[in-house]
Structure 1
Amino acid sequence: MANFNDRKKEVIAIIGAGISGLLACKYCISKGFDPIVFESESGIGGVWRKTIESTKLQTPKSFYQFSDFPWPDSVTEMLPHQKTVLEYIESYATHFDLVRHIKFNSKVLSLSYEDDSSSGEWNLCKGKWNVTVYQVDFVVVCLGRFSQLPNMPEFRPNNGPEAFEGQVIHSMDHSKMDTKTATNFVKGKQVAVVGFQRSGMDIAMECSTVNGVERPCTVLIRTPHWNLPDFSPWGLNLGYLYLSRFSELMVHKPGEGLLLSLLATTLSPLVTN
């Protein structure tokens, strides 16, 4: 792999100005580069820019912070709200002067790689990347796992949303609504939420708050698992489970014995908590 310290005249493009993109930008600057960050939105923050109104951190803020930029003393909540998290990310970018490297409202439509080597093998050190109208030496893709890519299941013909008499939307579409629009959208309707992960739970809670017990929200789950209501249920800090070697016991491993297999099977519901 190329040594960055030997190649500081080369241009580095970073796609996305979320947390990963900002970290990549700061690292490149620390190595003497002048990176270009392409961000399709008008501001930084990635998924934290447009979220469900009730979104908060689901881990204590001490576990969710930049190592060189701690949370300000004014933030006293253990699980800050989305707006507070976004302000923290924006403060980080401002503090390290990262914004001047970002080109907002610049959506990358295509990437192509040109290899200058004669061997025919893909060579990171000799090729060039064409990013829309730019040619750069390296590309760092920081789009996030779910950014603008809704995960929609595949259905047999005539057995998908077209067979349903109601309206079908993805949680990503719901997150883009403002509070008033989201409230009016579900008010007075019988709502079913498919999925029991974080966005599903948040949306189900919002629907239940709007419609109450008169029109309860139905949650459909494919794989039953335990759901704990707090990061410290019954006074037990979940960090001891998930942020320690103990978490390895929850996952099946090649060559495991009978005892480890039984433990992984018994503790498997904790993996999807």
Structure 2
Amino acid sequence: MRQFRVMTSSVAVIGAGPGGLVAARWLLSQGFEPTIFEQAPTLGGQWAGLDGHSGVWPGMHANSSRTVTAFSDLEHQGGDVYLSSHEVLEYLHRYAEMFGLASRIRLGTRADLIDRDGVGWRVVHDGTIENFERIVLATGRFHAPVIPAVAGIESFCGPAGAISTYHYRDGSRYRGKRVLVAGSAVSALEIASDIAESGAARVVVTQRRQRYVLPKFAAGVPSDHLIHTRYGALAAEALAPAEIDRQLKEIVIEAAGSPEQYGAPSPDPSLFTAGVTLSQDYLPLVADGRIIVRPWMTGVARATVTFADGAAEEFDGIVFGTGFGLSLPYLSADIQAILDLDAVHMDADRYTFHPDLPGLAFMGMWDQSGGYFVPLELQARWIAYTWGGAAAPTSDRDQRLAIDAYRASRRASQKTRMNLAAIAFARAAGVEPRLDNWPQLRRALLFGPLAPSCFRLEGPDALPDAPERFAYEAAVFGAVTSNEMTERESDYWSAVQAASR
């Protein structure tokens, strides 16, 4: 193999999706020289929509609003409130052009192995070894579909076959057919809706439990402006879990009602136990009888599927929207062992650093509800500031304590919320705005959207126009148009303040 000499301040960024691009942008700002490796023939990651490289289908729209599907340096030029996949991809190309990232991307270059090499790191690709001072892994969390074990599934012989939502491209192949969609997360419900609206003869959704379903809009306001707030992150630190559960459920029920009102099964009274999924059209389609809901499947015999209630039905196709596993096959066995990597978990301080792997950082390797752009940028800033000296590095002891705390709370499904991840990274990067510094934005900072501009108010790389930008973004859909809290907001905030004393 050919080998390259390591360059001072060199960083290999693996992946040219949103995480890799925003990491490279902030590394450049701190004086590093990033080289971006991308196995696909174009940048964009999932948003490139390439079959085999992406689970984004051509007709898909983002499940996070335009306000939070953005980075702090570049605003959208109009477009849909919930952007189409094409609009998101065009935005990423503009972002790469703005920061001169395109010339740093090696397209069609897959990292076959990443390992330590003395005090540095090496990337093996195409029969070549390249050495780098540091590495950022930004290959994404959603490339390894999980297909659950179902008795007899290998015998399924419907003419449309059985696939994962990762390989779904459009509903035309299911027109006039009987389709079973397995799962209750966003990809399952959105694809079930797409198939029903594309002319399928029958659409059945099978799920282990009924989730609450939140529409994309609540009284004209994007739902993520209401549910993924900084207040929610502060409440999670101060209030009992049962009270947070109650408050979130109150917001969801007020926006959408409860699934049984549409003819779906009743979810668990606890929103945390049941879960919540964002989908605009799913419940109305259930109410119209265009989507039928069944309990989980118990067996498959050729084209016939049996369900837990004893019912059996023949299908032409099955689509599994049953989640993704954490897969980093390019990491050496030594590194995987240090991380105690499995299909769900990875030992890392706030999903980013491990004290035994200095010079290695991870981007976007956690599972969450809500959009990723804002927390990805904050994670990128934390990495760049830590390596560049703008933020003090976390001590080995504190990193190990954070990892121990994560291990103590491990669950079979480890999901967080967008606002919790964003605030954690903002604090680590030193850019969480202090309420006392912004009395005119107090309500917006608590109950408005977590727009990227609010994390440019203070700290490293603060922007002079950030206050005006954030005030506009908080008010544009009518969520926060004044600094006067509603009665409910005031009650919620008083409870957090009292619990924090």
Deviations 1:115-141 (A, max 9, x none): x3xxxxxxxxx2332333212221111
RMSD: 2.9
* 1:38 positional shift: 0.6
* 1:94 positional shift: 0.9
Write the distance in 1 (CA, Å) between the matches of 2:106 and 2:242. Answer: 55
Query: Which 10-residue stretch deviates more, 231-240 or 198-207?
Result: 231-240
Deviations 1:39-61 (A, max 9, x none): 01111111111122331122221
Q: Does 1:136 align with 2:132?
A: yes
2:204 corresponding residue in structure 1:
218
Q: Does 1:64 align with 2:69?
A: yes
Q: Say whether the 8 Å CA contact 2:65–2:224 is kept in structure 1.
A: no
Structure 2 unaligned residues grouped into runs of 5+: 1-5, 50-55, 249-268, 279-501
1:208 corresponding residue in structure 2:
196
Q: Does 1:165 align with 2:157?
A: yes
2:19 corresponding residue in structure 1:
20
Write the distance in 1 (CA, Å) between the matches of 2:239 and 2:225. Answer: 27
AA at the equivalent of 1:216: R
Q: Secondary structure at the match of 1:169?
A: strand
* 1:239 positional shift: 2.1
Distance 1:80 1:261, change over 3 A: closer
Write the distance in 2 (CA, Å) between the matches of 1:235 and 1:137. Answer: 45
Distance 1:32 1:255, change over 3 A: closer
* 1:10 positional shift: 3.4
Write the distance in 2 (CA, Å) between the matches of 1:236 and 1:96. Answer: 30
2:147 corresponding residue in structure 1:
152
Query: Which 10-residue stretch deviates more, 57-66 or 93-102?
Result: 57-66
* 1:168 positional shift: 1.0
Q: Following superposition of structure 1 onto structure 2, how do residues 81-96 of structure 1 map, counting pairs within 5 Å? A: 81-96=84-99
| TM-score for the superposition, normalised by structure 2 | 0.44
* 1:221 positional shift: 1.4
Q: Secondary structure at the match of 1:61?
A: coil
Structure 1 unaligned residues grouped into runs of 5+: 1-6, 117-125
Distance 1:141 1:188, change over 3 A: same
2:251 corresponding residue in structure 1:
none
Q: Say whether the 8 Å CA contact 2:14–2:37 is kept in structure 1.
A: yes
* 1:225 positional shift: 1.2
Q: Secondary structure at the match of 2:36?
A: strand
Q: Following superposition of structure 1 onto structure 2, how do residues 2-81 of structure 1 map, counting pairs within 5 Å? A: 9-50=8-49, 51-72=56-77, 75-81=78-84
Write the distance in 1 (CA, Å) between the matches of 2:88 and 2:103. Answer: 21
Share of identical aligned residues, percent?
Answer: 24
Q: Following superposition of structure 1 onto structure 2, how do residues 232-271 of structure 1 map, counting pairs within 5 Å? A: 232-233=218-219, 237-246=223-232, 256=240, 266-268=270-272, 269=274, 271=276
Correspondent of 1:227 among 206, 213, 238? 213
Q: Say whether the 8 Å CA contact 2:8–2:133 is kept in structure 1.
A: no
Q: Following superposition of structure 1 onto structure 2, how do residues 183-194 of structure 1 map, counting pairs within 5 Å? A: 183=172, 185-194=173-182
Distance 1:87 1:258, change over 3 A: closer
Write the distance in 2 (CA, Å) between the matches of 1:80 and 1:111. Answer: 35
Query: Which 10-residue stretch deviates more, 8-17 or 92-101?
Result: 8-17
| TM-score for the superposition, normalised by structure 1 | 0.77
Q: Secondary structure at the match of 2:131?
A: strand
Distance 1:71 1:223, change over 3 A: same
* 1:169 positional shift: 0.7
AA at the equivalent of 1:106: T
1:4 corresponding residue in structure 2:
none
1:122 corresponding residue in structure 2:
none
Q: Secondary structure at the match of 1:140?
A: strand
Q: Say whether the 8 Å CA contact 1:8–1:33 is kept in structure 2.
A: no
